[in-house]
């Protein structure tokens, strides 16, 4: 039988102790950092505090309709720390691209149109990995 302790209320002293042991914080985007186009009050300051303490911040979204770069711009426009870049954001396309890379499937040519900021990252980063390999003569 597994013992699961009762949840305890977190106060500032307990949080400081826990904070020392955590190197990376992962936050969901929609509903935690923002809601629609509105920033969640206090969240930019909290993430800024974590980053100043040397903590790594990762932002997750299950929405693949926009690129990680677009989400990074949204975070910046909402006042989040400038160190939160597209490389700090994980979306389904980033997971697929990483999976393809780990499987040894690499892109040989990436073709984008003039509206590359509107092309879902899935197509830009993942499907390009499946481009036919060119054989050298």
E strand or H helix that includes residue 43: helix 43-52
Question: Parallel, antiparallel, or unpaired for β 38-39 and 34-35?
Answer: antiparallel
Spatial CB neighbours of 32, under 8 Å, sequence gap ≥ 6: 40, 43
In this structure, what is the dihedral angle of CA atoms 18, 45, 70, 107, given to the nearest 10 degrees? -30
What is the secondary structure of 50-114 as a DSSP string?
HHHTT-EEEEE----SS-HHHHHHHHHHTT--TT--GGGEE-HHHHHHHHHHHTT---S-----T
Positions annotated as catalytic residues are 28, 30
């Amino acid at each position: 039988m597994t013992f699961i302790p009762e949840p305890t209320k977190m106060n500032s002293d307990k949080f400081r102790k826990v904070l020392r042991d955590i190197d990376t914080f992962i936050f969901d985007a929609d509903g935690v950092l923002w809601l629609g186009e509105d920033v969640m009050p206090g969240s930019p300051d909290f993430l800024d505090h974590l980053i100043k303490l040397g903590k790594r911040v990762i932002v997750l979204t299950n929405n693949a309709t926009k690129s990680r770069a677009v989400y990074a711009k949204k975070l910046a426009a909402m006042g989040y720390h400038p160190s939160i870049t597209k490389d700090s954001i994980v979306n389904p396309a980033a997971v697929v691209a990483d999976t393809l890379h780990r499987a040894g499937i690499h892109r040989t040519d990436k073709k984008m149109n003039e509206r590359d900021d509107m092309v879902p990252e899935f197509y830009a980063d993942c499907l390009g990995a499946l481009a036919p390999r060119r054989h050298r003569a």
